[in-house]
Amino acid sequence: MKSLILTSAFLLVAATSACTNINPHYDAAKPHHTADGFKNNYPPNPAYRRPEVGFFEGWMTRIRNWTSSGDQRAPAAPIHGIAPDLAFIRGNPGEAALTWIGHATFLYQTGTGINILTDPVFEDRASPVSFAGPKRHQPPGLALSALPRIDVVLISHSHYDHLSIDSLRALWRQQGGPPLLVAPLGVDIWLEKHITGGDRSRIVKLDWWDKTSIQGMDVHLLPVHHWSSRTPWDRDASLWGAFALKTPTSSFFFSGDLGYSKDIEDIAARFNGFDLAAIGIGAYQPIWYRNSHVSPDEAVRIHRELRIRRSVGMHWGTFPMGQERLDQAPIDLAQARRDQGVPDDEFIVLRHGETFLPAANIRRHAGQQSPAQ
């Protein structure tokens, strides 16, 4: 009964934002464009096929997951955050640095004076409603109020655990002026409506393989295998993607959400490796989730195939998005490194609030510095 009530409440909330899916960015010359949205470059992996369910049954399953106690996904051992090194973060002298705030939210400092925030979500729930949905297990490793001024926000897609109204509105009002918002096609329209009050001057919309330049930094949107929605009626109405950042001194790959596909081979053909990457390693169980998210084994494969010097795992330990335990991904990541012959310090996980300096292979937090491992 509780699930039915919550389902009805969610559908009512969703209905208020539902719209006819007509793609204003439609380009018939681009195979991934459709008249009402977008599609992946490659078919899903048949080994990960999801059992067929109806529309209502599918949403009932989601609501049951949202309202369950989550005991089966509780971590086997406590997940502890760490006090961030605020003195370093706020006074970074010019080193490339990556601070994990939680899930897919990172502060990336390029080393050239640009502060970038990825998929900022600081709320307690990744959900359209405040009373249900995936609940944050760990507080943000760095509070919104503790951030340095953010120059650029990268948004990979429209799912609630990556796109938050409240977080983006707070950033839009930050002291010193709003950041530049860089997003895939279709998400720009959502931002204009919900965040900027119609102001498009600080929104950059990108299609796959598009590039924009910001203060000497090239920002590329890359194709990956995923999907998008905010309501039951807008499936794939907006685009999704990964990001590649290139400055004169460093390069960074941010995976967003992705399933393993031939897109990785396509990206590898266009880029000569990356210095640093943040790659999702969680929400890979049950097996059909792996057409939307990669397992730790696939994440290490991406690390190798994209020729990345140092990778950091994300999308674990914060919101219970998959059916695996919240701390299972790092355990499986360690096994995947061993299986694929990747040194432990090449693909690491951070604690919430911890900062990684890839050039020095050093991890920083308040009162301590230690080698990555």
Q: For position 213, what pLDDT does the model report?
A: 98
Task: Kindly state whether residues 149 and 271 are assigned to the same domain.
Answer: yes
Q: How many domains, the chain?
A: 2
Task: State mean pLDDT over 201-227.
Answer: 98
Query: Would you say residue 224 lies in a domain?
Result: yes
User: Residue 133, by phi and psi: left (phi above 0), alpha (psi -120 to 50) or beta?
Assistant: left
Return the minimum-mean-pLDDT range out of 53-57, 121-125, 178-182, 292-296. Answer: 53-57
Task: Kindly state whether residues 129 and 64 are assigned to the same domain.
Answer: no
Looking at every residue in the chain, the average pLDDT score rounds to: 91
pLDDT (tens digit, 9 = 90+) per residue, 149-206? Answer: 999 999 999 999 999 999 999 999 999 999 999 999 999 999 999 999 999 999 999 9
Q: For position 61, what pLDDT does the model report?
A: 58
Query: Would you say residue 263 lies in a domain?
Result: yes
Two structure tokens written together for 185: 């096609």
**Peptide bond before residue 286 is cis, with ω within 30 degrees of 0:** yes
Task: Kindly state whether residues 143 and 61 are assigned to the same domain.
Answer: no
Task: Kindly state whether residues 266 and 357 are assigned to the same domain.
Answer: yes
Calculate the CA 118 to chain-centre distance: 7
Query: Would you say residue 154 lies in a domain?
Result: yes
Query: Would you say residue 77 lies in a domain?
Result: no
Task: Kindly state whether residues 133 and 276 are assigned to the same domain.
Answer: yes
C-beta separation of 294 from 55 below 8 A: no
Q: pTM for the complete prediction?
A: 0.92
Band of pLDDT at residue 7, cut at 50, 70 and 90: very low
Query: Would you say residue 110 lies in a domain?
Result: yes
Residue 192 sits in a domain whose CATH number is 3.60.15.10
Task: Kindly state whether residues 60 and 189 are assigned to the same domain.
Answer: no
Task: Kindly state whether residues 277 and 179 are assigned to the same domain.
Answer: yes
Instruction: Please state, for a pLDDT cut of 90, what percent of the chain lies above it.
Output: 81
Q: For position 167, what pLDDT does the model report?
A: 98
Band of pLDDT at residue 8, cut at 50, 70 and 90: very low
Task: Kindly state whether residues 284 and 190 are assigned to the same domain.
Answer: yes
Which of 44, 68, 92 is the endpoint of a domain?
68
Task: State mean pLDDT over 23-52.
Answer: 93
Q: Domain residues for 7?
A: 1-16+52-68
**Closest by CA position to 308, among listed 335, 347, 338:** 347
Task: State mean pLDDT over 259-266.
Answer: 98
Query: Would you say residue 249 lies in a domain?
Result: yes
Query: Would you say residue 45 lies in a domain?
Result: no
Task: Kindly state whether residues 241 and 305 are assigned to the same domain.
Answer: yes
Two structure tokens written together for 71: 């005991």
Q: Computed from CA positions of residues 23, 28, 32, 34, in that sequence, does the dihedral angle turn out positive or negative?
A: positive
Return the minimum-mean-pLDDT range out of 69-83, 97-111, 326-340. Answer: 69-83
Predicted confidence (pLDDT) at residue 107 exceeds the cutoff of 70: yes
Q: For position 319, what pLDDT does the model report?
A: 94
Task: Kindly state whether residues 64 and 91 are assigned to the same domain.
Answer: no
Predicted confidence (pLDDT) at residue 17 exceeds the cutoff of 60: no
Query: Would you say residue 210 lies in a domain?
Result: yes
